[in-house]
């Protein structure tokens, strides 16, 4: 299998195929350092943690991952805890930076000695309607062609694979939000053991962390807000204004070591397959980060794809390949719905009026006082059950 992109989707797929004895070549246009250092989200669902462990790549996660059995929702100046583990029969989420996941997977790939090209230039794919597609690229000054049975488009939202599908073959569903997230990493010990999602009149804010010494915080801003408009002092003032609760809880202030603004969108391209090209992860769908689902969806896509490949190579059966898109999209749409709901319940829209804000507060009041509503959030936040068992994917 030819895999375009060495983000979480491409690397996880490569390792799942390896564990099933299926050859793959991974082609990435950025450098190894760039791919590892890119700052991204960091919440792993229970199923993603179980998958990484079952794949034998969970050592870093077990050492440095922070298991969270609950989270807080904060509004009107009070924090309300939702006990994820108690409501889901013991499931939890783990905070472990995507950078670390990617680093662990690159190490695992390197140990298999299977091909992984970084800094590949002029990457192209062709022959998608045939049974022998080709990935072309240049590397180290030389031209390469990989002749494969299938291509996995794991090259993210801005990659080349989705645009290679002819016009008319894909339907795109999209919602672009009128806000973005300003995210910072700060050298400050986290002042809460668990995440705090805040709905404030001035806009959404999120308290998260990366380690016992590093806090990760987000602030709702305009989607195209230049980061230069925000001095470090202004960022801290706004964070504290939105997050400080009546009981005096607030994030610990520290030196800001990284800051950036990300726009937010919901996006699905369907179907996730065209001929012998299979899209997986961000190349097929984007969720706003509020539900923390991006990496987890990429993981569930490639688990389905690896299982389909295993069935194909072991038994010559194409039925799982044919079901790939529908199987993935069922989960994708549920995650889209959850991410949209979290986003619209917690953020302030520019066209929002007093009625809308009061309705949001009532939504949050209901959420934090009804066991049924908390259970609904909890089971989606820790991750809905996978469509595929680890056994059937060869783990
Ligand atoms: N050729 C080769 N590689 C490419 C090309 C190209 N033309 N275009 C993009 N890529 C690479 C990117 O450099 C990146 O390393 O594909 C990779 C895609 O990785 P991600 O964007 O991380 O997407 P994915 O693996 O689907 O992971 C989804 O990670 O991006 C986050 O928020 C996202 O959490 C979600 C998860
Ligand atoms: C993060 O820690 O980066 C994070 C946590 C929760 C989210 C999004 C991002 O919903």
CA of 263 to the centre of ligand 2 (A): 14
**Which residues form the catalytic set?**
68, 197, 289, 293, 381
Taking the centre of ligand 1 as the mean of its atom positions, its distance from the CA of residue 6, in whole angstroms, is: 6
Quickly count: other Cβ atoms within 10 Å of residue 261's Cβ. 18
Give the pLDDT of residue 154.
Answer: 98
* Average of per-residue pLDDT across 366-377: 98
* Res 376: pLDDT: 98
Question: Based on the number of CB atoms within 10 Å of its own CB, is 42 exposed (0-12), middle (13-18) or buried (19 or more)?
Answer: buried
Distance from Cα 306 to the centre of ligand 2, integer Å = 27
CA distances from 159 to 162, 183, 223, 290 (A): 7, 24, 21, 23
Position 41 confidence tier, pLDDT thresholds 50, 70, 90: confident
pLDDT digits (tens, 9 = 90+) for 229-257: 999 999 999 999 999 999 999 999 999 99
Q: How confident is the model over 292-302, as pLDDT tens digits?
A: 999 999 999 99
Of 274, 33, 254, nearest to 170 by C-alpha is 274
Centre of ligand 1 from the C-alpha of residue 347, in Å: 27
Pairing of β 2-4 and β 25-27:
parallel
Q: Please give the pLDDT value at position 96.
A: 96
pLDDT at 394 over 90: no
Which pTM does this prediction carry?
0.97
pLDDT at 393: 82
For residues 289 and 260, the answer to whether their CB atoms sit within 8 Å is no
Which residues does ligand 2 sit against, CB inside 6 Å? Answer: 41-43, 195, 206, 208, 216, 289-290, 292
For residue 291, which atom of ligand 2 is closest to its CA?
10
CA end-to-end span of the chain, whole Å? 19
pLDDT, residue 391, reads 83
Query: 99 C-alpha to center of ligand 1: Å?
Result: 12
User: 41: Cβ below 6 Å to ligand 1?
Assistant: yes
Residue 392 pLDDT: 83
Block residue for tokens 């295993």: 310
Q: Which ligand has the minimum distance to the alpha carbon of residue 71?
A: 2
d(CA 161, CA 32): 21
The 3 state secondary structure assigned to 173-230 is EEEEEEEEEEEEEEECCCCCCCCEEEEECCEEEEEEEEECCEEEEEEEECCCCCHHHC
Q: Is the CB of 139 under 6 A from ligand 1?
A: no
Nearest ligand, CA 118: 1
For a substitution probing ligand 1, which of 40, 41, 97, 159 has the most ligand atoms within 8 Å of its CB? 159
288: three-class secondary structure by DSSP: coil
Residue 43: is it exposed, middle or buried by C-beta count within 10 angstroms (0-12/13-18/19+)?
A: buried
Best mutation site among 52, 155, 278, 291 for ligand 1, i.e. most ligand atoms within 8 A of its Cβ? 155
- The pLDDT of residue 286 is 98
pLDDT band at residue 269 using 50, 70 and 90 as cut-offs = very high
CA of 41 to the centre of ligand 1 (A): 13
- The dihedral formed by the CA atoms of 81, 87, 89 and 95, expressed in degrees to the nearest 10: -40
Give 310's Cβ-side CA count (13 Å radius): 22
Protein residue whose Cα sits closest to atom 15 of ligand 1:
7
DSSP run (H or E) holding 78: strand 78-82
Angle at 296 between CA 367 and CA 362, to 5 degrees: 15
Give the per-residue pLDDT at 395: 84
The residue-averaged pLDDT of 327-341 equals 98
Rg (CA), the chain: 21
Are 306 and 389 in contact by the 8 Å Cβ rule? The answer is no
Cβ neighbours around 135 below 10 Å, total: 24
Report the atom number in ligand 2 closest to the C-alpha of 183. 3
Report the nearest atom of ligand 1 relative to the CA of 161.
7
Residue 239: partners with Cβ closer than 8 Å, 6 or more residues away? 184, 205, 217, 219, 251
Is the Cα dihedral 272, 273, 274, 276 positive or negative? positive
In this structure, is the dihedral angle defined by the CA atoms of residues 194, 183, 361 and 201, taken in order, positive or negative?
positive
Least confident of 253-257, 279-283, 382-386, 389-393: 389-393
């Amino acid at each position: 299998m030819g895999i375009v992109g060495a983000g979480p989707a491409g690397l996880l797929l490569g390792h799942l195929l390896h564990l099933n004895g299926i050859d793959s070549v991974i082609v990435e246009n950025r450098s190894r350092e760039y791919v590892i250092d890119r700052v991204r989200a960091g919440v792993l669902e229970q199923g993603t943690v179980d998958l990484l462990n079952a794949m034998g790549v969970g050592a870093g996660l077990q050492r440095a991952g922070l298991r969270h059995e609950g989270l807080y929702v904060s509004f009107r100046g009070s924090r309300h805890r939702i006990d994820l583990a108690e409501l889901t029969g013991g499931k939890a989420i783990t905070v472990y930076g995507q950078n670390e996941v990617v680093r662990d997977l690159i190490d695992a790939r390197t140990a298999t000695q299977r091909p992984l090209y970084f800094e590949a230039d002029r990457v192209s794919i062709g022959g998608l309607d045939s049974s022998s597609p080709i990935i072309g690229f240049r590397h180290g000054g030389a031209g390469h062609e990989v002749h494969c049975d299938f291509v996995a488009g794991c090259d993210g939202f801005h990659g080349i694979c989705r645009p290679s599908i002819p016009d008319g073959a894909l339907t795109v569903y999209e919602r672009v939000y009128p806000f973005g997230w300003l995210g910072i990493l700060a050298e400050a010990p986290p002042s809460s053991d668990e995440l705090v999602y805040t709905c404030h009149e001035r806009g959404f804010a999120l308290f998260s962390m990366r380690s016992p010494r590093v806090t990760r915080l987000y602030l709702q801003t305009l989607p195209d807000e230049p980061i230069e408009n925000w001095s470090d002092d202004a960022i801290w003032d706004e964070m504290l204004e939105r997050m400080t609760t009546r009981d005096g809880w607030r994030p610990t202030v520290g030196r800001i070591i990284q800051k950036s603004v990300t726009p937010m969108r919901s996006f699905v391209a369907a179907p996730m397959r065209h001929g012998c090209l299979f899209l997986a992860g961000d190349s097929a769908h984007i969720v706003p980060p509020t539900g923390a689902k991006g990496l987890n969806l990429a993981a569930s896509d490639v688990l389905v794809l690896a299982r389909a490949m295993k069935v194909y190579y072991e038994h010559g059966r194409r039925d799982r390949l044919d079901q790939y898109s529908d199987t993935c999209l069922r989960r994708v749409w549920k995650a889209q719905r959850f991410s949209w709901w979290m986003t619209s319940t917690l953020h302030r829209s520019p066209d929002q009026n007093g009625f809308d804000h009061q309705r949001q507060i009532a939504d949050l009041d209901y959420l934090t006082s009804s066991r049924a509503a908390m259970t609904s959030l909890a089971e989606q936040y820790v991750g809905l059950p996978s469509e595929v068992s680890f056994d059937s994917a060869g783990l």
